Structures are given as C-alpha cells and as structure tokens.
Amino acid sequence: MEIRSYLVPTALATLLHIIVLGGLLTHWIGDAEPERRTPRHIQARMIDLNALSQTPSSPESGAESETPPAPDPAPKPNETQQKQQEQQAQAEQKRREQQAEQARKAAEEKARQAKALAAKRAQEEAEKRKQAELAAQRKAQEEARRKAEQEAQRQAQAKREAQEKARRQAEAKAKAEAQRQEQARAEAQAKAKAEAARAAAEKRAQSVVGDMQSYIQTLVEQNWRIPRTARNGMEAVVAIRLLGNGEVDQATIVTSSGDAAFDRSAVQAVYRTERFERVAEVDPILFERRLRSIKVIFRPEGLRW
C-alpha cells in the first residue's frame, strides 16, 4: 500500500527530470562554440615617400642628355668640289669632331653637374635627415626629461599623499583604539554592575524559589492521600503547569510509579490543592522562568511496607 502510493509521484518526478534534461541538452547542442574565424591580416610594406617622388625624375633627365644632336646633311662631292668637299668634309669632320667634343664636354659637364646636383641633393637629404634625427632625438630627450619630471612629480605627490594617508590612518586608529578602550571600560563597568545586579536578583530569586518550593511541598503533602497500595520506594513524577495566579492549569504523570492508584493519588493531590495562592505574589519574569511549569516527585517515606 505504501509503496504503491509512492509510484505516481516517483513517475512524475522522473518525467520532469527527463523533460528538464532534454531542454538543457538541446540548448547545449545549439549553442556549440562558433567556428573561430581567423582575422584577415593586412600585409603592409614600408614605403619611403621621398624616394618615390625622386625616382621618376632622374630617367627623364638622363634621356635628354643621352640623345645625340642630329648631324648636318653632307654636300655632294666632285674634284674641286671633291677637294672642297674633302676640305669641307675635313672641316666638317673637324667641326663635327669639335661639335662632338663640345657635345661630349657639354654632356660630361652636364653629367658632372647632374652628379654634383645629385650629390648635393643627397647631401642635403642626409643633412636634412640628420637634422630630423637630431630634432627627433632632442624631442625624445625632451620628452623623456619631461616625463621623468612628471614621474618624479607624480611620485613625490604619491609619496606625500601616502604619508598623509598613513598619518590620517594612524590618527584614526589611535582614536578608534582610544574609543574602543573607553567603550570596553564602560562596558566592563556596565557588565560588572549588571552582573552584580543579576547576582543580587538571582539571590533574591533563589530565596523566593526556595520559599515557593517548601510552600508548594507543604500544600501538596496536606492534600496527598497516600493510597493503600503505596509502598516505600515507589516514586511518581507529576508535571504541573501553573497559571499566573497560582491556579493549577494542568497536572500530568510524567514518570509512573507502576501503580495506578499511586499515580492517580499524586495527580489528585495537585488538583485537590487547586491553587498555590502565594505563587501570584512572585515577580512575573521569575514566575515564567521557574514556576510556570514545575515537577513534583512523590516518594513516600516511612510507610509500613
């Protein structure tokens, strides 16, 4: 019967687990880690912009200088003419050679000039670079110096701040410590005072409780009709709950003597007492603590048997 009653809940619970697990699984599978895409690298090449601007200009100038001047057309030869022509030709040759020499010289000059220009430019460039480097260097140095200064300033500031903080902390700590000590002292005093008061109250309470103990004992003994079945050595414990006015609210056997008449007589003794009047005079807190519920042990002494 009991096992059957567990069946339905167990089945439901299992089903619920399966559903939850299923949901989680699909979630896990759908969210599989996305394919890692490798980033596209950009290949960069360093280009010297100065170099780029110079290179196209130099072949132009070279081509101009290398192109030879167009030769003059030669006169038609005969005897004189031929001689003339020869002279002319020689003159022409000479002229041409001179021209060529001039041209060569001019070309050389030009080349030399170009070379000198290039060298000058290169020199200027180098100078410029050097200047730039120097400037950069100076700038870097300046920057480093500034930075170092700033750092030093910062550090100094930090140090000052740290010192200030430490000082403030130490002050606060000292103040707190002083406060704590003061508080501890006050607390100790208060505690000692409270302890003394408590001890005094406890002493008073003890004496009140002791009084009540013998008062209750006397009343119950007056009201206990020991039954014929009672024997020396029998013992029953009755738990009593009292009301604030001392009236018996409830009395029950908590430890039986084993004899029904004895147990009954013990409970009856309490109910017959009906009310412990003097309990009403007790301070309510003490009543709650010590007298709200009490135990009475019934243990007859001096019986015949």
Partner 1 sequence: MVKFKSVLACLVLLVTGSLARAELVVEVTQGVAEPSPVAVVPFNWSGTSALPEDVAKVVEQDLARSGFFSALPRESMLGFPSRQSDVYFRDWRVSGSDYLLIGRIEPLGEQRLEINFELYDVLKEQRLMGQRVESTPAQLRDAAHYIADRIFEELTGLKGAFSTRIVYVTADRRADNSNRYRLMLSDWDGARPRTILESSEPIMSPTWSGDGSKLAYVSFETGRPAIYVQYLSTGKRERIQSFKGLNGAPSWSPDGNQLALVLSKDGNPEIYVLDMRSRQLQRVTRHYGIDTEPTWAPDGQSLLFTSDRGGQPQIYRLNLSSRDLERLTWEGNYNARPRLTQDGRFLAMVHRPQGGDFTIAVQDLKSGRLDILTRAGLDESPSIAPNGSIIIYASQEQGKGVLAAVSLDGQVRFRMPSPGGDVREPAWSPFLQ
Q: In this structure, what DSSP letter does residue 258 have?
A: S
Element (DSSP H or E) covering residue 249:
strand 248-255
Nearer to partner 1, 19 or 303 (CB): 303
Asked if residues 233 and 287 have their Cβ atoms less than 8 Å apart, the reply is no
DSSP assignments along 35-52, one per residue: PPPPPPP-------HHHH
Site string for partner 1, 11-50 (x = CB under 8 A): ----------------------------------------
CB of 17 to partner 1, least distance (A): 20
Tokens encoding 198: 């408590």
| CB neighbour list of residue 267: distance below 8 Å, 6 or more residues apart | 238, 251, 252, 253
Instruction: Give me the amino acid identity at 285.
Output: I
Asked if residues 235 and 298 have their Cβ atoms less than 8 Å apart, the reply is yes
Binding flag, residue 105, partner 1 (CB under 8 A): no
Q: Which of residues 274-293 bind partner 1 (CB under 8 A)?
A: 274, 289-293
Instruction: Give me the amino acid identity at 21.
Output: L
Q: Which of 92, 259, 275, 278 binds partner 1 (CB under 8 A)?
A: 259
Binding flag, residue 228, partner 1 (CB under 8 A): yes
Binding flag, residue 269, partner 1 (CB under 8 A): yes
CB of 271 to partner 1, least distance (A): 4
Binding flag, residue 246, partner 1 (CB under 8 A): no
Question: Which span (45-53, 104-112, 196-204, 205-213) binds partner 1, by CB under 8 A?
Answer: 205-213
Binding residues for partner 1, how many (CB under 8 A)? 42
Question: Which span (40-48, 131-139, 158-166, 297-305) binds partner 1, by CB under 8 A?
Answer: 297-305
Binding flag, residue 305, partner 1 (CB under 8 A): yes
Binding flag, residue 226, partner 1 (CB under 8 A): yes
Binding flag, residue 299, partner 1 (CB under 8 A): yes
Asked if residues 107 and 67 have their Cβ atoms less than 8 Å apart, the reply is no
The b/e string for 227-252 (b: 16+ C-beta within 10 A; e otherwise) is beebeeebebbbebebeeebebeebe
Binding flag, residue 198, partner 1 (CB under 8 A): no
Q: Which of 271, 277, 284, 285 binds partner 1 (CB under 8 A)?
A: 271
Instruction: Give me the amino acid identity at 91.
Output: A
Distances (CA, A) of 77 to 67, 70, 81, 84, 85: 29, 21, 6, 8, 5
Binding flag, residue 247, partner 1 (CB under 8 A): no
Q: Which of 127, 221, 249, 277 binds partner 1 (CB under 8 A)?
A: 221
Could you list the residues that contact partner 1 (CB under 8 A)?
A: 209, 212-213, 216-217, 220-229, 259-261, 264-265, 267-269, 271-272, 274, 289-302, 304-305
